[in-house]
A and B are shown apart, each in its own frame.
Chain A
Amino acid sequence: MQVPAPFDYDRASSVEEAVALLERHGAEARPIAGGHSLLPMMKLRLARPERLVDLNDLTELSYVRTEGEWIAVGAMTRHAQLAASDLLARHYPIFQDAERVIADPVVRNRGTVGGSLCQGDPAEDLCAVVAALGGQVVLRSSGGERVVAARDFYLGPYETVVAPAELVTEVRIPIRPGSGSAYEKVERRPGDWAIAAVGCFVTLAQGSVADCGIGLAAVGANGYCAPQAEAQLRGQPATEESFRAAAEAAAAGCRPQSDQRGPEDYKRDLVRELTRRALRRAAARAMAGGA
């Protein structure tokens, strides 16, 4: 029977209270959202917090809405809510693409946006999506609020810039009229972590790629992104040749590792192919007036 080691439990009723509890109890206290990453780790003693601060009453952090030029997603928004959001579907179909292949419907009822980003699993699909879209992460502490670019949010696998008494409250995505986006993933079986996955957006202007973002999951890409591939694609005509060149750059720029999910060269091949597919689909959506 897998049961976590003993810990104390608090339930926060507001963001301020959550932050105060985390501050009072120091680094040994951890916030818990959906719990589908933290509880398994606690069962295996890979994590052993002395106190959990339950965030599930913070319904104030559960929303998807526009705020000026941004789409703001509350940290306690569940995967299922992301998948069901018409606003996201309209602006960024990449979210629906990804949500369809993140775990399974019952897990998606619990897992949250903030939890997924903070877990920082190298294969986390949502991290690659937010990195591809050049999102920002909003953090709250007793000292106030700070905003970190999603690409600077990660120090390494499972490691983020979130300080012990800090709470992720929101993720922001810039709205990009004329853009299209898509997510492509290959996994061993439905609901599994990716062997490799690629997400992207492209903004088109007169048949050229005015702007783009490419995110990678499970292939050792720093900050889940592919800056060389993006640089390669920007300003180029939105053609199969340009997509192929960007896909080559993405495959060359990542650092997949051989493991039980597949050998390194296979994963690199996947990145090449999935980048091409994602760009193709994103461009088609942009041309169809997706956003």
Chain B
Amino acid sequence: MQVSMTVNGERVTREVEPRILLVHFLRDELNLTGTHWGCDTSNCGTCVVWMDGVPVKSCTVLAAMASGREIRTVESLEQGTQLDPVQEGFMREHGLQCGFCTPGMMMTARWLLDHNPDPSEAEIREAISGQICRCTGYENIVRAVRWAAAHPATQEVGS
């Protein structure tokens, strides 16, 4: 079947089987490998992308179900050569070690900050509670999101 959606602002159309999951569509059809494919069971959250402005686990959404929708992936965070404050925060606060969970974590963090610019530690932990990190013990991820909250995009990042 033909699916057609907007991915990071760009219209894409592909012929796929109805059973193809959104995560594989993004990675294998569009070569957007920033979105990671993890547990396959909507537990680990590394595959989180936005669909019509809402974070979803793309291992549990069919590409067919995403047809006609707007998808935003981790590749869209960077603006030109400017990192998103969330990316900068993960870098500065060592919010990752192996990096496997990072794309999902960052997409959820970006959504959280868009809706709650100054989240408490508890709110950050709640927001990422559907995502699993096996390296950081979450401490540095929380610090990374806090860093991003303290350095919103309008500010000169890196100054």
* Interface set of A (CB-CB < 8 Å, partner B): 1-9, 11, 32, 35-36, 39-40, 43, 52, 54, 56, 103-107, 109-110, 190-191
B18 close to A104 (CB less than 8 A): no
Q: Which of B74-82, B83-91, B95-103, B123-131 contacts A (4 or more CB under 8 A)?
A: B123-131
B48 close to A9 (CB less than 8 A): no
Quick one: which of B1, B18, B40, B65 contacts A56, CB cutoff 8 A? B65
Taken together as a complex, chains A and B put the C-alpha atoms of A24 and B19 apart, in Å, by 21
B19 close to A107 (CB less than 8 A): no
List B57-113 residues whose CB lies under 8 Å from chain A. Answer: 57, 60-62, 64-65, 67, 108
Q: Given that A39-B62, A43-B40 are known contacts, is A107 also in contact with B57, CB under 8 Å in the complex?
A: yes
Taken together as a complex, chains A and B put the C-alpha atoms of A54 and B66 apart, in Å, by 11
Task: Judge if B56 is at the interface, Cβ distance under 8 Å.
Answer: yes
- B121 vs chain A, min Cβ distance (A): 15
Taken together as a complex, chains A and B put the C-alpha atoms of A93 and B55 apart, in Å, by 25
Quick one: which of B17, B24, B60, B129 contacts A39, CB cutoff 8 A? B60
A104 close to B17 (CB less than 8 A): no
Residues of chain A with a CB closer than 8 A to B56's CB: 106, 109-110
Q: Given that A9-B18, A35-B65, A36-B42 are known contacts, is A105 also in contact with B126, CB under 8 Å in the complex?
A: yes
- Residue in chain B with minimal CB distance to A103: B130
- A105 vs chain B, min Cβ distance (A): 6
Taken together as a complex, chains A and B put the C-alpha atoms of A121 and B69 apart, in Å, by 30
Extra contacts besides A52-B62, A106-B130, A107-B57 (7): CB < 8 Å: A7-B18, A9-B62, A39-B62, A54-B65, A104-B131, A107-B42, A109-B54
A8 close to B131 (CB less than 8 A): no
Taken together as a complex, chains A and B put the C-alpha atoms of A144 and B57 apart, in Å, by 35
| Chain B residues touching A, range | 20 to 34
Q: Given that A36-B60, A109-B56 are known contacts, is A6 also in contact with B17, CB under 8 Å in the complex?
A: yes
- A49 vs chain B, min Cβ distance (A): 11
B17 close to A35 (CB less than 8 A): no
B19 close to A4 (CB less than 8 A): yes
Task: Judge if B20 is at the interface, Cβ distance under 8 Å.
Answer: yes
Residues of chain B with a CB closer than 8 A to A9's CB: 1, 18, 62, 64
Taken together as a complex, chains A and B put the C-alpha atoms of A109 and B129 apart, in Å, by 13
Dominant SS at the A interface?
A: loop
Taken together as a complex, chains A and B put the C-alpha atoms of A75 and B108 apart, in Å, by 26
Q: Given that A54-B65, A105-B126, A105-B129 are known contacts, is A40 also in contact with B41, CB under 8 Å in the complex?
A: yes
Q: Given that A40-B41, A190-B129 are known contacts, is A106 also in contact with B55, CB under 8 Å in the complex?
A: yes
- B43 vs chain A, min Cβ distance (A): 8
Quick one: which of A5, A56, A109, A191 contacts B19, CB cutoff 8 A? A5
Residues of chain B with a CB closer than 8 A to A54's CB: 64-65
A105 close to B18 (CB less than 8 A): no
- Residue in chain A with minimal CB distance to B39: A2
Taken together as a complex, chains A and B put the C-alpha atoms of A107 and B126 apart, in Å, by 13
User: 7 smallest A-B Cβ distances: which pairs?
Assistant: A104-B130, A9-B18, A2-B40, A106-B130, A4-B19, A9-B64, A109-B54
Task: Judge if B142 is at the interface, Cβ distance under 8 Å.
Answer: no
Residues of chain B with a CB closer than 8 A to A110's CB: 56-57, 60-61
B61 close to A35 (CB less than 8 A): yes
Taken together as a complex, chains A and B put the C-alpha atoms of A89 and B126 apart, in Å, by 19
Task: Judge if B21 is at the interface, Cβ distance under 8 Å.
Answer: yes
Residues of chain B with a CB closer than 8 A to A7's CB: 18-19
Residues of chain B with a CB closer than 8 A to A4's CB: 19
Residues of chain A with a CB closer than 8 A to B17's CB: 6
Taken together as a complex, chains A and B put the C-alpha atoms of A43 and B61 apart, in Å, by 12
* Most interface-central of A11, A32, A56, A103 (chain B CB within 10 A): A56
A105 close to B127 (CB less than 8 A): yes
Taken together as a complex, chains A and B put the C-alpha atoms of A32 and B20 apart, in Å, by 15
Taken together as a complex, chains A and B put the C-alpha atoms of A11 and B67 apart, in Å, by 10
Residues of chain B with a CB closer than 8 A to A1's CB: 24, 40
Taken together as a complex, chains A and B put the C-alpha atoms of A109 and B61 apart, in Å, by 12
- A8 vs chain B, min Cβ distance (A): 6
- Residue in chain B with minimal CB distance to A35: B60
B130 close to A8 (CB less than 8 A): no
B19 close to A3 (CB less than 8 A): yes
